[in-house]
Amino acid sequence: MRSILGGWVAANPAARGGGLIAAVLLAVSGLFGGLDRAKVADRVDDVAPNSAVTVQPFTLTFKQAVALDEIEDVTTPRTPGNHLMVLLLDAENLTDASVGAYLLSPVPRAKSFMNRNVVVLDDRLSPDLVTVYDAESHIPLTQLSPGLTYRLAVVWEFGGAVPDRLPLGLAALTLRGNTISPDDLGWQNPAEAAMLTLAVNDLTSDRT
- The 10s digit of each residue's pLDDT in 82-139 is 999 999 999 999 999 999 999 999 999 889 889 999 999 998 888 988 999 999 999 9
Q: 35 or 39, which is more confident?
A: 39
81 domain-assigned: yes
Q: In this structure, are residues 55 and 117 in contact, taking their beta carbons and an 8 Å threshold?
A: yes
pLDDT of residue 207: 77
Q: Is residue 207 part of a domain?
A: no
Domain with 56 in it: 2-202
pLDDT value at 45 more than 60: yes
Residue 204, pLDDT > 70, answer yes
- The number of folded domains in the chain is 1
Q: What are the backbone angles phi and psi of residue 184, rounded to the nearest 5°?
A: -90, 95
Residue among 155, 167, 94, 152 at smallest CA distance from 130: 155
Residue 183 pLDDT level (bands cut at 50, 70, 90):
low
**Is 208 inside any structural domain?**
no
In this structure, is residue 83 part of a structural domain? yes
Please check whether residue 40 lies inside any domain of the structure.
yes
12: closest CA among 166, 203, 164, 207?
203
Amino acid sitting at position 157: E
Do you know the residue count of the chain? Answer: 208
Q: What pTM was computed for the model?
A: 0.81
Query: Which of 31-40, 71-80, 126-135 has the lowest average pLDDT?
Result: 31-40
Mean pLDDT of all residues in 148-164:
96
pLDDT at 49 over 70: yes
Q: Has residue 70 been placed in a domain?
A: yes
Q: Rounded to whole angstroms, how far apart are CA atoms 106 and 156?
A: 9
Who has greater pLDDT, 20 or 145?
A: 145
Question: Does 194 map to a domain?
Answer: yes
